[in-house]
Amino acid sequence: MQLNTQFMWETFLDVLQGIPVTLKIVVVTLLVSSPLGFLMAVSKSGEGRIGRRIIVAYVSVIRGTPVVLQILFLYSLLPTVLNYLIKEVLGSSYNIFNLDPIFYAYVVFILNTTAVLSEVFRSALSTVNRGQMEAALSIGMSRPQAYVRIIMPQALVAALPNICNTTVNLLKSTSLAFMMTVKDITAIAKIDASFGYNYLEAYLVIFVVYIFLCSAVQGVFHLTEQGVAVYKKPVVS
Amino acid sequence: MLKVKEVQKAFGDNQVLRGVDIEVAKGDIVVILGPSGSGKTTFLRCLNFLERADGGTMDFDGIHTELKSASKAVVSRVRKKTAFVFQNYNLFQNKTALQNVTEGLIVARKVPKAEALARAKAALDKVGLSDRYDYYPSQLSGGQQQRVGIARAIAVDPDVLLFDEPTSALDPELIGEVLAVMKKLAKEGATMIIVTHEMTFAQEVASKVIFMDGGVIVEQGSAKQIFTTPKEERTIQFLRRVLKDFDYVI
């Protein structure tokens, strides 16, 4: 057996064009999911009983089903529903089937990551002891002020390792976006491979690409952790 | 200046406070003694609305309110007139010693930044931490952390300082430095309500001693009165037990 190195190099160059797509899904998902997940974590630890039940149900549905199934399900359901809404309810002539499939990828991964992050933030919030909230109230700060200035910054630092995990998992999950015809790294490799049945070579190439990307993400988080956790460092005297 | 009446508080079926009255004049040092579970900490927390009492009224420097139904505005006014020192310090872990003190001034009381800094530094100097402004709580000893806690409380210039067992979480050798700071404040005329188990300290500084048990005030009077001629059987028992603690030799 011999590897077609020429093909591997060409595939690598092709795949590079998929990296922005993959990263776009990751970044958009994180930007939307982080605040949503945080709000859910806060309201889960708050008083609203109905809200809490809805959140618990949502999280267990998402966590209790495979991502692949979520993709298959939503990718079958969403276009049909949206088409009906646009045509019948809004009376518009917009063709939903022309929509860039990356939007479906956003929806699936946002739904997923929000659920995961809400749990990440919930556990992070619980690491900040209640006494600090009381101390803030006792010197006259309001609850929101205490949250923003005292509790949140510490919770975020505590959450960083888990956010890193979530991000890496998300990045890897985006390889499933090819099922929704999104041209990400994996999709490009598969397409290239299918012309001459060079699947092994194509997969080897993106193997390396994913390792590189995931390592980069972990590196970034590692540096951030060191930067923000100054208050945890012992004093050097 | 501060007068609360008939404070009631229950946690579920557990009636912790069964009608506690207290009157504090300016400059008073009130020490609350009592066995664990007697309700002293809960009572102190009710004064600052960290715990919402089920009943009772408060008259505080022109504010008159029911404790149970006090509005947000009233709670906020009372909190701005009081300051709380916690058993576990409860310092803001993500802020330096100096920021711990300025936080309440700048954010809650809208004091201009320069003035807040000056006041915070003065407060830290007073508790003997002029060389620890930029240290984070995790870099300070327990005694130093509690002194930052005290600085945070006095910086806001409260009418009444509330101390909840301020030395209970400290190593024996660090207790002294915290008590010394508190004595200094007492001498300067601060009004304080202190829950503590430090009997010697109580005898020395208290202008009024309250003995609580089972959610009620069993006996109150001057330090001398309570420590030398207690009237109630329960007080005598308690004092005999806690004062005996200091008898043994290691």
Q: Do residues A110 and A33 touch, judged by C-beta distance below 8 A?
A: yes
C-beta contacts of B18-26 below 8 A and 24+ residues apart? B18/B214, B18/B215, B18/B216, B19/B56, B19/B216, B20/B56, B20/B212, B20/B215, B20/B216, B20/B217, B21/B217, B22/B193, B22/B210, B22/B217, B24/B160, B24/B191, B24/B193, B25/B1, B25/B191, B26/B1, B26/B159, B26/B191
What pLDDT is stored for residue B219 in this prediction? 93
B96 contacts on A by Cβ (under 8 Å) = 231
The yes/no answer to whether this complex scores an ipTM above 0.95 is no
Give, to the nearest 10 degrees, the angle between helix B142-155 and helix B172-187. 20
- CB-CB: which of A132, A137, A138 is closest to B92? A132
What pLDDT is stored for residue A83 in this prediction? 87
Residues B36-82: tens digit of each pLDDT: 889 999 999 999 999 999 999 999 998 999 999 999 999 999 998 99
Alpha-carbon dihedral angle through residues A224, A229, A234, A236, given to the nearest 10 degrees = 50
Which residues are bridge partners to B47 per DSSP? none
What pLDDT is stored for residue B250 in this prediction? 54
pLDDT range class, residue A237, cuts 50, 70, 90? very low
Question: Is A159 touching B (CB cutoff 8 A)?
Answer: no
- CB-CB: which of B80, B94, B153 is closest to A153? B94
Q: Give SS3 for A53.
A: helix
Between residues A2 and A109, which one has the greater pLDDT?
Answer: A109
Contact between chains at B84 and A135 (C-beta distance less than 8 A): yes
Domains of chain A: 20-182 (1.10.3720.10)
Hey, which bits of chain B come out as E strands? 2-11, 14-24, 29-33, 55-60, 63-66, 82-85, 160-164, 192-195, 208-213, 216-221
Phi, psi at B114, each rounded to 5°: -65, -45
Residue B44 and residue A116: Cα distance in Å, rounded? 40
Q: Do residues B166 and B147 touch, judged by C-beta distance below 8 A?
A: no
Of B21, B91, B83, B23, nearest in space to B48 by CA: B83
Residues A61-80: tens digit of each pLDDT: 999 999 999 999 999 998 88
CA distances from A153 to A127, A150, B219 (A): 12, 6, 46
Query: For the residues A29-58, what does the mean pLDDT come to?
Result: 87
- CB-CB: which of A149, A153, A235 is closest to B107? A149
Min distance B93 CA to chain A CA atoms (Å): 7
Locate the chain A residue with the closest alpha carbon to B162. A138
How many whole angstroms from its chain centre is CA B166?
7
pLDDT range class, residue B173, cuts 50, 70, 90? confident
Residue A119 and residue B239: Cα distance in Å, rounded? 50
Residue A195 in this model has a pLDDT that exceeds 70:
yes
Residue A139 and residue B111: Cα distance in Å, rounded? 13
Of A136, A221, A137, nearest in space to B94 by CA: A136
The DSSP secondary structure of A85-109, one letter per residue, reads: IIIIIS-----GGGS-THHHHHHHH
Contact between chains at A139 and B92 (C-beta distance less than 8 A): no
Phi-psi group of B49: left, alpha or beta (phi > 0 → left; psi -120 to 50 → alpha; rest → beta)? left
Q: Average pLDDT of chain B?
A: 92
Between residues A43 and A213, which one has the greater pLDDT?
Answer: A213
Q: Do residues A138 and B50 touch, judged by C-beta distance below 8 A?
A: yes
How many whole angstroms from its chain centre is CA B39?
14
CA angle B197, B151, B113 (to 5 degrees): 160
pLDDT range class, residue A234, cuts 50, 70, 90? low
Q: Average pLDDT of chain A?
A: 90
CB-side exposure of A130: number of CA atoms within 13 Å? 2
Q: Do residues B241 and B199 touch, judged by C-beta distance below 8 A?
A: no
The residues of B whose Cβ lies within 8 A of any Cβ of A are 48, 50, 76, 79-80, 82-84, 86, 88, 90-96, 103-104, 107-109, 135-139, 149, 152-153, 156
Residues A106-156: tens digit of each pLDDT: 999 999 999 999 999 999 999 998 899 999 999 889 888 999 999 999 999
Q: Do residues B92 and A132 touch, judged by C-beta distance below 8 A?
A: yes
Locate the chain B residue with the closest alpha carbon to A153. B94
Residue A234 and residue A232: Cα distance in Å, rounded? 6
Contact between chains at A140 and B109 (C-beta distance less than 8 A): yes
Phi-psi group of B164: left, alpha or beta (phi > 0 → left; psi -120 to 50 → alpha; rest → beta)? beta
